[in-house]
Structure formats: C-alpha cells, structure tokens
Amino acid sequence: MVDFNFARNHKGFTLVEIIAILVIIGLLSIFAASRITIDNTDLLTTQAALKTHLRHTQSKAMQSTTTIRGIRFDTALDEYWFFECSINTSCSWTGGRTLPFGAEASSTNFNNDRIKTSLADIDISQITVGSDSHTRLTLIFNEMGVPFWLGNSSITFVNPLENSTGITRLTENITIQLTDTSGNTADLVIAGETGFIQ
C-alpha cells in the first residue's frame, strides 16, 4: 500500500494564504497612497493658482505698451500681489496694486488686493534667481513676454522696458518654493530669457 502522508507537509503557505496576504498589502498601499495625495492638495492648488496668476500677468503685459504689469513677492509675509504702473511714473514697492483677475473690491476689507498663501497654510519659503536667494522680488514682463526682475525698491519704468534703471533682464531661472505645514514642497520655475512658467 502507498503512504500518502508525505503529501500532507504542513510547512509553508498555501496559495490561498499568499493571495490573501497580497490583497491585504495592496489595500494598505492604496490607502497610504491616497493619504499622501490628500495631504498635498492645498500645496498643489496654491502652486497651480500661482502659475495661473503669473501667466495672466504675462499675457496682460503683452497687451499694453503704456502700462507695466507685474507681480511682487514678499516671503516674510507669505504674500504676493499684482501691480500696474504707467510708463514714466514712479512706482513704489506697494504702489499700483490691483485686484487679482476676477476678484471684486470689498468695502470692508482693504487688504484684499494681495494673495496671502499662509491662509492656506502654505509658505513662500524661498525665491531664488539663479543661485541667489531673495526675500522680496518684483517680476515684470515686457510687451514680448520677456521677464525682468528687481528687488523691493521704487522704480520709474520707461519705454522700452529694457531702458529702465534698476531692473535686470532675467537670464537665469527664478524658482519659487512653496512649503506646506507637513514639510512638503512644490517648486515653480520661471525660465530665464523666455519667461516660460513651469
């Protein structure tokens, strides 16, 4: 008679047990991945909004030869705002503020002319031009969409923009780093020379 006890080896796992473990691991990894994505939502939304604001400002600058349009950033206050200044008129650091596209003025809140990223728990943690870090930066575009920049000083813009004293044509990339409360970061890059926003 044949002894079939050798087939009843109780060492190892059955195929059903291995499949069950793989399914459990798969479900746990899906849950963990979805939590990571949810944590970055505010950061990615702020990054997308800033990209849109930069592109809109660049587009508006390309439509006018009598008005200079740009965006000013202040990392200490975690805010940025739009501005427009007429040619041959002095434009201070806080002068010429305009409302964001589609926004309406409030009769009770006079500070609604700037965007505070800190309200979404997002910090403008760093702005670099090439390898140099800046806490305040003015970014402007000429009628061809070419970017120029300067710090936080007052300036009188002239036409053509290239002849304005104190501004520098952007030849290196500007990187704006956003950071959320969890330490996640998202970078936004404005390419030198072309002004391409990525």
Q: Which residue ranges form the domains of the chain, and what is each CATH number?
A: 41-190 (3.55.40)
Average pLDDT over residues 27-32: 83
Average pLDDT over residues 15-21: 90
pTM of structure: 0.74
Distances (CA, A) of 29 to 14, 17, 36, 183: 23, 19, 11, 22
Are 54 and 62 a contacting pair, CB within 8 Å?
no
pLDDT at 40 over 80: no
Are 143 and 62 a contacting pair, CB within 8 Å?
yes
CA 90 to chain centre: 29
Handedness of CA 99, 149, 45, 120 (dihedral sign): negative
At 166, list the tokens: 């104190």
pLDDT at 43 over 70: yes
pLDDT at 9: 58
